[in-house]
Chains A and B, each alone.
Chain A
Amino acid sequence: MTVEASTPAGERMTLNMGPHHPATHGVLRIVVESDGEVVARCTPDHGYLHRSIEKIGECVEWPMFVPYTDRIDYVCAMNANLAYCVAVERLLASDPATTVVVPRRAECIRVLVAELNRISSHLIAVGAMAMDVGAYTPFLHGIAQREAVNDIFEKLCGQRLTYNYVTIGGVAFDLHDGAVAEIAAFLDQFEREMQRFNRLVTTNTIFRDRCAGLAVVDAAQAIAWGLVGPNLRGSGVDFDLRRDESYGIYGELDVRVPKGEAFAGRHGRQGDAYDRYVVRLLEIQESVRLCRAVLQLLPPAADKPADPLGGHQAEVSKILRKVPKGAVHVRTEAPRGEMGYWIVSDGGKVPFRVRCRTGSFTAAGMFQHVMRGIFLADVVAVIGSFDVVVPEIDR
């Protein structure tokens, strides 16, 4: 469903969208050159939220960088914490003397919070996408469920958004009393709520037909442009780092990977905006299943207050004064796809280089390619379907 622009370049209209625009998911600026209603060229402009987080990584000590990872992607801060901590642990493991073993209970809690946060992140994604095509109510449904996850996290670590909960070597606190029952109750309630959400949005003909066949990305393109996570799977590539390059205890769990199959029916094509949307919904279901599975695996807490999580935090902070020299690249599956940390250590207590590759960055890189030939009104729908979060692009 693309139309070629026919007006010569000099006579086109230039439309500036952002950096303040209600539908750009933050401070993203896109300069659209349009031929009537058709986008002839699209030039994204980034950096309005470039907070120099990678430079800060070279200035602060190893554990002090964890709060900054929260701010790389605040919609799924748990996953962002986890990505950095797993990478540092992998670097520490290059020397047997500094190897840190994460206690099993902490490993289970990590997966639990990461999957809960994936749910709440995808809720924003699907809600915002519905809002981008003109339906405001689904977003409020998403927010309402997100509040429930926030409540659980708040009891767990005292914060609603930027958790700083996953630490190098474990997690900051043990689960609070009654957390297991609370999470199980939330999951039951949430599944019913999602059925309502699907009736309202997913099976809605207007929404489905609007997104069907929009901004189609085939598998080869998705790989070449570096799409990751749900955007990659939406194009039909069967790849998930939790299953194919597992970290933590994901290897023990049976992670099922949904992929795009032209869900929109007659007008749909594999890898269109609707596929990316549906893959996110299927991943929410999968996360609910993983949360339940991990609650089964959760070993009982050791006697309080001695050391519910192994009690090796003091030892870990000693190890982190002298991290072995070397480089490591670890990728983890965040809700917006691969979050890959390339970390270089010069053997000191401060990282030499912390590089964070995020899913939104490459998705934004693809805008100039996929926006060409679509209608102006679809620009925001396409942004929504890729679920870009601006601090992830800019960092």
Chain B
Amino acid sequence: MTRREGPGDAFDDRIHLTAVDEFLAWGKEHSLFYLLFATACCGIELMQAGGPRYDVDRLGMIPRATPRQADLMIVAGTITHKMASRVRTLWEQMGEPRWVVSMGSCANSGGPFSKWSYSVLNGIDKYVPVDVYVPGCPPRPEALIDGVMALRERVRRYRTLGERSTEPHVVAGHEAPFGARCQLPPPDAPAGDGGRA
């Protein structure tokens, strides 16, 4: 009797006993479709992560061209003030549950542009809630994959039917830079239409 990877307890290799929520979370965890969205340098590393050597497809991560089919938004690269509201719009179009990985120093905190730039937004978490921050300028594909693994831990705890925790789940090594998490501005449009718009 071998234990296959899966939620709950296994009686033999065909029967698992588990809660529905855990089963759904298990499914979500292994099929994180991400939005094909790249703004700057990190975007090249994101593409290379999808390339033949790192091949994130094997983690069930398939790029989707439209936010309506995506579970995960990887904010790869610098976000300027001009771009930020567009990112928010994209995020609002994603169906619940949705996750955001902030990839690279620019998306985390403005990175090398935080001090002297007039046009760069210091951290995309001012516009969308970020689950996992991946440091680096740009992060290597391995670092991105590590961030995704940290996110999967978070996805595993997501409850579709049960009570959801409102506490932010902070993953060690992927916390928000400068301690305090920024407050989200009030949305311009009603947020979270469940991808029906």
Known A-B contacts A71-B40, A71-B112; A143 and B117 likewise in contact (beta carbons under 8 Å): no
- A26: chain B residues within 8 A (beta carbon): 38-40, 43
Pair count A-B, CB < 8 A: 92
Contact with B along A35-56 (1 / 0, CB 8 A): 0000000000001111110011
B185 interfacial by beta-carbon distance below 8 Å: no
Q: How far is the CB of B52 from chain A (nearest CB, A)?
A: 5
Complex Cα gap A205–B76 (Å)? 36
* Residue on B nearest A73 in the bound complex, by CB: B41
- Let me know if B80 and A143 touch, CB within 8 A: no
Interface string of B155-175 (1 = CB under 8 A from A): 000000000000000000000
Interface flag for A75 (CB, 8 Å) = yes
User: Are B78 and A20 interface neighbours, CB within 8 A?
Assistant: no
B178 at the interface (CB under 8 A from A): no
Interface string of B21-53 (1 = CB under 8 A from A): 000000000000000111111011101100111
How far is A19 from B37 in the complex, measured between Cα atoms in Å?
Answer: 10
A70 and B112 CA atoms in complex are apart in Å by 12
Cβ-based interface call for A95 (8 A): no
A47–B82 touching, CB < 8 Å:
yes
Residues of A within 8 A of B140 (CB): 160
Query: B141: shortest Cβ distance to chain A, in Å?
Result: 9
Interface centre among A71, A146, A390 (most CB of B within 10 A): A71
Given the interface pairs A20-B90, A48-B80, the reply to whether A74 lies near B41 with Cβ below 8 Å is yes
- In the complex, whether B137 has a CB less than 8 A from a CB of chain A is yes
For residue B55, which residue of chain A has the nearest CB?
A140
Residue in B closest to A77 when the chains form the complex, CB atoms:
B41
Question: Nearest chain-A residue to B89 (Cβ)?
Answer: A20
B-facing mask of A44-83, CB < 8 A → 1, else 0? 0001111110011001100000011011001100000000
Q: How many B residues touch the partner, as a band?
A: 20 to 34
Question: Do residues B80 and A162 form an inter-chain contact, with CB atoms below 8 A?
Answer: no
B118 touching A52, Cβ below 8 Å: yes
- Cβ contacts under 8 Å, B41 to chain A: 70-71, 74, 161-162, 391
A161/B86 in contact, CB under 8 A: no
Determine the distance from Cα of A160 to Cα of B80 in the docked complex, in whole angstroms.
24
Contact check, B48 vs A162: say whether CB atoms are below 8 A apart: no
Name the residue in B44, B86, B113, B120 with the highest tally of chain A Cβ atoms < 10 Å from its Cβ.
B44
What separation, in Å, do the CA atoms of A390 and B43 have in the docked complex?
12
Best-surrounded residue of A20, A70, A391 (most CB of chain B within 10 A): A20
| CB-CB nearest in chain B for A162 | B41
Which of chain A's residues have a CB closer than 8 A to the CB of B82? 47-48, 50
30 residue pairs A–B, Cβ–Cβ below 8 Å: A19-B83, A22-B36, A48-B82, A48-B83, A49-B78, A51-B80, A51-B119, A52-B116, A52-B117, A52-B118, A52-B119, A52-B120, A55-B116, A55-B118, A56-B113, A68-B112, A71-B112, A74-B40, A74-B44, A124-B44, A140-B51, A143-B48, A143-B51, A143-B52, A147-B53, A160-B45, A161-B44, A162-B41, A162-B138, A390-B40
Leading 4 A-B pairs by shortest Cβ distance: A143-B51, A74-B41, A52-B117, A59-B116
Identify the A interface with B (CB < 8 A).
19-20, 22, 26-27, 47-52, 55-56, 59-60, 67-68, 70-71, 74-75, 124, 140, 143-144, 146-147, 150, 160-162, 390-391
